[in-house]
Structures are given as structure tokens and as C-alpha cells.
Structure 1
Amino acid sequence: MSCLRTSRYVSTAGLLTTTRAYTSPSSSIQELNRYDNLPSNSRVFSLIQPTGRIHLGNYLGAVKSWRTLSNSNPDSEFLFGIADLHAFTSYKPAAELKDNRYQAIASLLAGGLDTTKCTLYFQSSVPEHSELNWYLTCMTSMGQLNRMTQWKSKAQQSQNSSITDEKVMESTKAGVFCYPALQAADILLYRATHVPVGDDQSQHLELCRNIAKSFNNTYNVNYFPLPKTLLTPAKKILSLKNPEKKMSKSDPVQASCVYVTDSPEDIQLKIRKATTDSIQGAWSFDPVTRPGVSNLINIISGLTNESIEETVASIQHLKDHKSLKDYVAKLIIDEFHDKRQLYDELLKNRDYLDSVCKQGRDKARELASVNIGDIKSIVGMD
């Protein structure tokens, strides 16, 4: 599979060199069976929201994948960070937001991200994100944003809701409605070729590609590559108490969520109380009829790097639900043991966290400032 990165836009003696508009690749989704099969010279970009300490779903869905990708592909470039501008779409007291931002950085470092192999920074520390967001928002129709489904969830509206409904309009903040345009700006600012995201963000990546195509066609340039959605092996981790919904820090039932910072005793207790079923006999992966057991199998698969099929085969010796839960709890405890200790140490050293973020900011801005300069030249804002 060929790399999607295009040659840099060229500006010489005030004259812009343009090429034909970018055309879409045959597939916008790449599924990695192995972490080391990225095309050479790819640029991978992803952000995580600062919701404080990370939970098992965050770790398997983002942090572990980011670590493995950046460690396995030395000839590619990786930019990872904290989406604190996105976090501003819902109110948090200033002190809480600041603490959450530090906890998120500490979690990524404790999770094993190596800053010699990736750029790690706060989104808000690179103002080019906001500048490109404005240009792209002006090019994005209300209809495109209205068709996105996540703003409806965030605004606590039904999936049949429309922003044209007066009650919906009055109760929905503009930032919640428009944030997919900022998400596109985040990605396109660095001309990323691949974006690892969960299934729930695939719709936003398609919008991002549409915005990139619209920009390229409008200005008759070949500037933005069309980023591929990168589906990594980790699957969505569900609530331990209600495996019909995603594991989430906001869940009022705290036993539904395992955190990297949980003690071994807390992890054992939460897994022991996890919802399963009463089916006896061989273990099977069936999210419809056995959602609780399937969620535990997903967790094992994510921690051991085995496929679902391999995982199911490997647990057949476990004789009952207690044995399965004990096995899952031990895997999580072993995985998080060193990370929990490192996380605690990092949070006590904010000077070190500040130095990491400053280094990442400077690296990100070096690239962002060049690209925003090109973009301003293209649109006539130079």
C-alpha cells in the first residue's frame, strides 16, 4: 500500500506552484493485522481528551496502540496529544481542567509513550489549530455538521434530532455542534496520512476527508492528503456492569470502569463483580447473546495482543466464570503495576511534565507554522 503523503506545497518568489486536485484513494480505511505494516514515511496523528486518569478502554483503545505503532515504525512520524480545546466544549472549573490536562499527560507517559519516538503536546499550546479551524469551519456546511451523530449524544439529543429544530438549537452549544471541523483542522494541520480512532469516530474522519477534498478542489491545489482511518487491533471496551454501553469515566456506577491507577484489590473486586451470564460449557465470543463474557474476551485479546479467535482457544481450560474473571484481573494487575507507580511519580513532578509539553509544543509548532503559512498563501491570507 503506498503512502498518502504528498510532496510539500511549493512557494517560490511569491508564486504558488499548484497541481491537480487530490483524488481519493481506493479505500479510506486501513486495518492493521500487524502494527509494523504502515507504509514508509507515514505521518500518524491522534489526540485524546483530558478526562483525568485514563481507564482500561482508553489504554487499550489509544495509548497501547500509539505506543506500539510508534515503537514499531521508526521510518514514520507520530504526533500524539491532549485535545484540551475539545474538552472545553463542556464546562469544567479551571482548576479541574488544569488537573485533568496534567493527569492525561502523565497517563500517556506512564503508558509507555517515548517522546524520542513521538511528539507529545497540548492541542491548545499550538494556536495554528484554532486558525485552521476557522478557515475550515467557513468551508463546512451546516448540513454536513448536522449529519454527524456524536454532537447529538454530547448535547443529549436523540439521533433523529436536527439543529434546525428550535429547541435543539437553543440547548446545543455552538462548540459541540461545530467541533468536527476543529477535529478536521487538527488532522489536516499536520497533513497526517493516518489517524488511529475508534469506530465511533469513523464518521468524523469521513467528514475530514470531504473537507480536505473540498479545500483542494476549491483552490485547485494538491495540498491536503486524504487521511486514512487506521483501525488497530484493539476493540471497544465496554462497561463492566452494563456491557451494552462503552466503558466511560462519566458512568455513575464506578465499578463499571477500571482505571490505570486502581489498586490490585480494586481491580480484583471490579472484575469479580463484572456482569457475565449463566451459560455453562465452552467459552464463545458472541457480543449479542454473551455481551459480558465477550467484553472480558476483548480485554484479554487487547492485553495479550492475540486475535479474538486465538484468545477464545486459549481460555478453554478455564472451568468457570470465576476462573475467567480471576484470569482477567491478573492480566490487568500485571499490565498496570509499573504504570500505576510511574503515574503517581510523574504527577508529583509537574516541572518535568511541563518540560515534556514544552518540547512537544515546539516540535509541533515547527511543522504547524510551516503548513499554516502555506495554507494562508493558498487562500490569500499571507
Structure 2
Amino acid sequence: MGQTPHSQEPATGATTLPGVGEGARERVLSGMQPSADSLHLGNYIGALKNWVRTQEEYDAYFFIPDMHGITVAHEPTDLRERTHRTAAQYIAGGIDVGRSTLFVQSQVPEHAQLSWIMTCLTGMGEASRMTQFKDKTRRSGTDAAGVGLFAYPMLMAADILLYQPHGVPVGDDQKQHVELARNLAQRFNHRFGETFRVPEPFIPESGARIYDLQNPTAKMSKSAESPNGLLNLLDTDKQMAKKIRSAVTDDGTEIRFDREEKPGVSNLLAIYSAVGERSIDDLVEEFQGRMYGHLKVELADVVVAALGPVRDRALELLDDRAELDALLARGAAKARETARPVVAEVYEKIGFLPPAQD
């Protein structure tokens, strides 16, 4: 999840739903898994920068889905550390914990409570058609996968529906998960009475896509073949500059934007445009007649100037884990204020006794 939402009108009757207040701003929800030690430039440009803009006009909920992180083999100490690191980078990147609700998924038990109910509403055939399970088991086979990986989309549906969002900022590759959440919301409402808002996927019409520095035909990803292809938010200035200087370019010397013929140079121009907030046409004109090396040197300066302060702030937050944990605890408490009445409504409608109070 993670793009700037388009404006949407509130659904009819939305203010009667649990967890949605009269006259409240439209709500959005998004998050990124803590699956690496650092967010990378693609995460920053494609998600985090958009989230910062989102919180200006929406009631924004941002979370760290650590429960999804145990659907595959993991090291507990790594997961805990990466959860802290992800939270620190959210805040350092501009998420305002006074304006937005920032929390860790596992600290809000209502996610697990609603997830089981969503799992029971989902058909086996419906779950089997989800592409993520197929993608993640293509190499190792389904026998090596845990049931949690298969049930991942139902937990994601619970993540979404728990907060009654108007929309979910996602990339196009996550649209299927939002469609499942929509289907389950409609199914529950039909069987048990109007309860859930049916959320809309917010998918941008256009936006910068950042590619691997060593393989500029592949999207920048945590699973990159070479660490030199990733620009990480927590890299040192020297590491960032070195990775940009060693980025793969193309035959010839002309600096122009052409994804097919010049994927390497086009990627560098796209990064410069996104980080430096300048148009690609302007950059092409500026570098006309100059060499690839000039583009790389100036791009390194721009990236270091933009990401260096984010890294430094994240490291400051990580130096005081007690304060960071306190911020996350406050966010979890706020998230539970929204989640509790939704779960209570669901429990009543499906025939459970009321949830026990903490």
C-alpha cells in the first residue's frame, strides 16, 4: 500500500458506520512491511512522500504490518529491529504523529480478531486465486508454505476494514487485495446487516517509478540481486554517492529520456526529477551536450541533500528506543479507539459475546 489518493465522495450513509464520526475527514490507510533494515528510494518516492501529502487533507492511518512479516520464515530479533527502523523512517520522512495515526499492527489485537472472521467468510476457491500466494510459492512449492501465507489476503482485508477507510492508497499490484476486502465487506453487510464501508483503491494515474541502479529494467526492490542497485534511506552519504556513480548507463553519450532505448539514463533522470522536484524536460535541456558522469555527480549531490537529513533524523529516533516505543504505544491506543467499536459491532452481528475489556 502506498500512493496519493484521488479525491472521493463519502459513501452514502457512511457516518452511521462504527468507527466513522459525523463530519470527519475522509480516512485512508496504508502501510509497508518491515522486511528490510532500511526503506529504499522507491519506497520513499512511491509511498512515503505521498503519505506526507496525504495527511494534509485526510484522516490518515499509517501502520507497520509486522504480522504479515511472520507469514514467511523470519528471525525474531530482525523483525523487532526492522519494525523499529521502519517506524523511525516513517517519522523521519515526514509522518506527523500528532496529525496522523501511526502504529504497529501486532499492538492492535483487533487485527487478529477481525482477520479470523474474514477468513471464515472467504471461499477456498476465492483465496486460491490470489496471486501473491502463487508468486511466493513458485520456487519452493506450496508444501513448503505456511497456512499464514495463504491467509495473508484475509488479514489484509481485516487491516483495511477495521478502520472503515474511504480509500486505500495502493500500487496496481495490490489492487487484487483491495478487491477482496471490498467483496468481504459486501458479503458481511449482506449476511449480517450494514456494518462495513466498502473501500475504494486509490491508484494514481501517473507517478515516478524508480528502477534498480544496476538493472534499470527492473523496479527497485528489497529483493534486488545486488545491494548496489538499491539506494537505501539509511545509507551513508558516501554509500549513496558511490552507488549513483556506479549506476548502469547506456550506449552512446546523449542524455535523453527513453525507457526503451536508454533505461539507465532514463532512470537517473526520473530519480533526479522526483527527488529534486524538477521536470524531466528541464533536466534534459540542462544536460544537453554533457556527459553521463556530469549527470551522476549532480544527481548524487541532490540525493544526498534530500535523504541525508531523513537518515540522520531516523538514527536520532533509533538512539532513543524508549521514546520511539512511547510514540508507537500512543498510536496503537488511538488506533484501538477506532478499531474496538468496529469489532464490537461485528461480534454482536455474528453472535459472539461482547469482547472482553482490557
TM-score range with shorter-chain normalisation? 0.7 to 0.9
Structure 1: distance between partners of 2:98 and 2:294: 41
Partner of 1:150: 132
Tell me how far apart the structure 2 counterparts of residues 156 and 236 of structure 1 sit (CA, whole Å).
26
Map Cα deviations across residues 227-260 of structure 1 (whole Å, 9 max, x no partner): 3324285433221111232222332411010111
What is residue 70 of structure 2 aligned with on the other side? 88
Q: Which moved more, 1:197-206 or 1:331-340?
A: 197-206
The question of whether the paired residues in 1 share the 8 Å contact of 2:256 and 2:262 is answered with: no
Q: Which amino acid aligns with 2:262?
A: R
The match for 1:22 is: none
1:97-108 equivalences in 2 (<5 Å) = 97-108=79-90
The answer for unaligned runs of 5 or more in structure 1 is: 11-38, 158-166
Q: Counterpart of 2:249?
A: 276
Look up the equivalent residue of 1:320 and give its one-letter code: M
Alignment equivalent of 2:121, drawn from 120, 130, 139: 139
Contact kept in structure 2, 1:155 and 1:176, CA below 8 Å: no
The residue identity in structure 2 corresponding to 1:3 is P
The DSSP-based 3-state class of the residue aligned with 2:25 is coil
Cα distance in 2 for residues equivalent to 1:109 and 1:355: 13
Does residue 127 of structure 2 align to residue 178 of structure 1?
no
1:152–1:126 CA distance, 2 compared to 1 (3 A)? same
Asked if 1:227 corresponds to 2:209, the answer is: no
2:268 equivalent in structure 1: 296
Correspondence for 2:282: 313
CA spacing shift, 1:97–1:2, aligned 2, 3 Å: same
- Residues 1:86 and 1:274: Cα distance change in structure 2 (over 3 Å): same
Residue in structure 1 matched with residue 4 of structure 2 by the alignment: none
Q: Distance in 2 between matches of 1:45 and 1:305?
A: 26
Q: Does the aligned pair in 1 maintain the 2:172–2:203 contact within 8 Å?
A: no
Residue 340 of structure 1, CA deviation:
1.6
- Partners of 1:239 and 1:261 lie apart in 2 by 17
Task: Please state if 1:48 is matched with 2:37.
Answer: no
> In the TM superposition, what are the counterparts of 1:121-136 in structure 2 within 5 Å?
121-136=103-118
Indicate if the aligned counterparts of 2:104 and 2:328 stay in contact, CA closer than 8 A.
yes
> Please, which of 86, 96, 111 is the counterpart of residue 93 of structure 2?
111
Structure 1 residue 240 and structure 2 residue 222: aligned? Answer: no
Is 1:297–1:312's contact at 8 Å kept on the other side of the alignment? no
Give the match's secondary structure for 1:231: coil
Q: Of 17, 21, 29, which aligns to 1:9?
A: 17
The whole-number CA distance in structure 2 between the counterparts of 1:3 and 1:47 is: 22
Assess if the C-alpha contact under 8 Å between 2:111 and 2:162 holds in 1. Answer: yes
* 1:174-219 Cα distance to aligned partner (Å, 9 max, x none): 1112201111110100011121122221222222222222222222
Separation in structure 2 between the aligned mates of residue 276 and residue 2 of structure 1, nearest angstrom: 45
Q: CA deviation at 1:45?
A: 0.3
Distance in 1 between residues matched to 2:228 and 2:136, nearest whole Å: 23
CA distance in 2, matches of 1:214, 1:229: 22
Task: Give the match for residue 347 of structure 1.
Answer: 318
Instruction: Measure how far apart 1:282 and its partner are.
Output: 5.3
2:47 is the counterpart of 1:62: yes
Taking a change above 3 Å as real, the CA distance of residues 41 and 4 of structure 1, as seen in their structure-2 partners, is farther
1:324 correspondence with 2:309:
no
Amino acid at match of 2:28: V
Relative to structure 2, which stretch is displaced further, 59-68 or 235-244?
235-244
Q: What RMSD in Å do the two structures reach over aligned CA positions?
A: 2.2
**Contact in 1 for aligned 2:255/2:292 (Cα 8 Å):** no
2:16 aligned partner, one-letter code: R
Corresponding residue for residue 379 of structure 1:
350
CA distances 1:103-144 after superposition (whole Å, capped 9, x unpaired) = 111111111211111011100000100111111111112222
Residue correspondences, number: 338
Distance 1:172 1:288, change over 3 A: farther
Structure 1 residues 283 and 183, CA gap change in structure 2 (3 angstroms): same
User: How many angstroms apart in 2 are the aligned matches of 1:210 and 1:293?
Assistant: 43
Cα gap change, 1:282 to 1:60, in 2 (>3 Å): closer
TM-score, length-scaled by structure 1: 0.82
- Give the match's secondary structure for 1:235: coil
Q: What are the residue-to-residue correspondences of 1:22-41 with 2, within 5 Å?
A: 41=25
Does the 8 A contact of 2:170 with 2:201 survive in 1?
A: no
Please state if 1:196 is matched with 2:181: no
| Residue 44 (structure 1) shift | 0.8
Partner-residue secondary structure (3-state), 2:285 = coil
Counterpart residue type for residue 183 of structure 2: N
Equivalent in the alignment of 1:368: 339
Deviation at 1:349, TM superposition (A): 0.3
Aligned AA for 1:63? L
| Matches of 2:203 and 2:69, distance apart in 1 | 23
Secondary structure in structure 2 of the residue aligned to 1:316: helix
What are the superposed Cα offsets for residues 287-320 of structure 1, whole Å, 9 maximum, x if unpaired?
A: 33332223223322322445xxx32333322122
Aligned 8 A contact 2:119 2:151 in 1: yes
Percent identity between the aligned chains? Answer: 34
